[in-house]
Amino acid sequence: MSAIKKIGFVGLGNMGNPMAGHLVKAGFDVTVYDIRPEAVKAFSLQHAVTAAASLVDVAQGADAVITMLPDDKVVRRVVLGDGTENCVAAGLARGSVVLDMSTSDPTGTRGLAAALAPRGIAVVDAPVMGGVVFAKDATLDIMVGGDAALVERCRPIFTALGRSVIRCGGIGTAHALKALANYVNACALINAIEAMMIGKRLGLDPRLMADALIPMCAGRNHPIEKKVIPHVLTRKFGTGMAMGFIAKDVKIAMDAAKSVGAFAPLGERVSELWSAAADQLGFQLDQTEIARYWEEANGITLADGK
């Protein structure tokens, strides 16, 4: 298989913007597209890229098209079109690859791969762990699913964007792992918030609790260290990851659980809570503002010193 030189990149949002920038720095020939023309314009002013005017343009001549989009439904629309030929697949040649780095539903990913196979276009799922800071530092952990030789062909892309590559298995397995990882994270975050909320009602200081919980019973606790202390207690609420995306990811994990008949009562409740909070408070709010869902119900906050 020939090396990937020319990349089409779709989705210049919080994550896609720095990721596309790293690909340019790594020497790839990058063409970018986003549904928001202002995002494309701003990116093109800062980087040596080609700005595509359409989804067909971004794919034309590309060895690979990378999608960094909200979910698999948007990815499917962008790649296959919604009854129109203004789509990535219409611009891609046989032998090219679609690399979906979004957090997508594994069933949707497998459906996309099946739909593209007759056109000779392959799919690799390569979702990322680590937020905007990791995307900016090119230190993402990248989970990868798909044909082994194809994954090797894509490896220079992963090297430019991340610090590790986790080979998961066949197509869709990386999207499954990503959703399950976010379920574990989402569960641990509201577990800590709920415990601290009860503790505060019982007269405990939130920061004292956060600092004590880690060594006492939680080991290295990512949500307390990276979310509760720096974003909830300080009221910064600025991780760069939307609450609605976490709700989506936990729902993907639970849909996947249902698809294989797995017993997952805790996950179902966690999914309901995240979806209810995103509906009530707002999809676009930072994930750490989930604390407000408990704060409003309890009439107190976890803010430092209050």
For residues 200 and 227, which CB has a smaller minimum distance to ligand NAD in the complex? Answer: 227
- Residue 187 C-beta: closest distance to ligand NAD, Å: 17
User: How far apart, in whole angstroms, are the C-alpha atoms of residue 40 and residue 25?
Assistant: 17
- Residue 197 C-beta: closest distance to ligand NAD, Å: 24
Identify the active-site residue in 178, 200, 227, 248: 178
Q: Among 155, 196, 159, which Cα is nearest to 288's?
A: 196
26-55 footprint of ligand NAD as x/- string (CB under 6 A):
--------xxx--x----------------
Residue listed under structure tokens 């597209």: 33
The tokens describing 249, both together, are 């990811």
In terms of C-beta density within 10 A (0-12 exposed, 13-18 middle, 19 or more buried), how is residue 226 classed? middle
Q: Does 69 bind ligand NAD (CB under 6 A)?
A: yes
For residues 68 and 253, which CB has a smaller minimum distance to ligand NAD in the complex? Answer: 68
Q: In this chain, which of 8, 62, 65, 102 binds ligand NAD, going by CB under 6 A?
A: 102
User: How far apart, in whole angstroms, are the C-alpha atoms of residue 44 and residue 93?
Assistant: 25
Active site annotation includes 6: no
In terms of C-beta density within 10 A (0-12 exposed, 13-18 middle, 19 or more buried), how is residue 262 classed? exposed
Q: Does 16 bind ligand NAD (CB under 6 A)?
A: yes
DSSP string spanning 108-155?
HHHHHHHHHGGGT-EEEE--EES-HHHHHHT-EEEEEES-HHHHHHHH
Q: Does 222 bind ligand NAD (CB under 6 A)?
A: no
Q: Does 241 bind ligand NAD (CB under 6 A)?
A: yes
Q: Pick out residues in 125-154 that bind ligand NAD (CB under 6 A).
A: 128, 131-132
Q: Does 115 bind ligand NAD (CB under 6 A)?
A: no
**Is residue 47 within 8 Å of residue 24, measured between CB atoms?**
yes
243-282 footprint of ligand NAD as x/- string (CB under 6 A):
--x-------------------------------------
Q: In this chain, which of 20, 49, 68, 88 binds ligand NAD, going by CB under 6 A?
A: 68
**Is residue 33 within 8 Å of residue 13, measured between CB atoms?**
no
With contacts defined by CB under 6 A, how many residues of the chain interact with ligand NAD? 26
The stretch near ligand NAD (CB under 6 A) out of 4-12, 207-215, 227-235, 254-262 is 4-12
The tokens describing 79, both together, are 């790649």
For residues 12 and 113, which CB has a smaller minimum distance to ligand NAD in the complex? Answer: 12
The tokens describing 12, both together, are 């210049």
276-292 burial, b for 16+ CB within 10 Å, e for fewer?
Answer: ebbeebeeebbbbbbbb
* Residues within the interface to ligand NAD (CB under 6 A): 10-16, 34-36, 39, 68-71, 74, 77-78, 102-103, 128, 131-132, 240-241, 245
Active site residues: 178
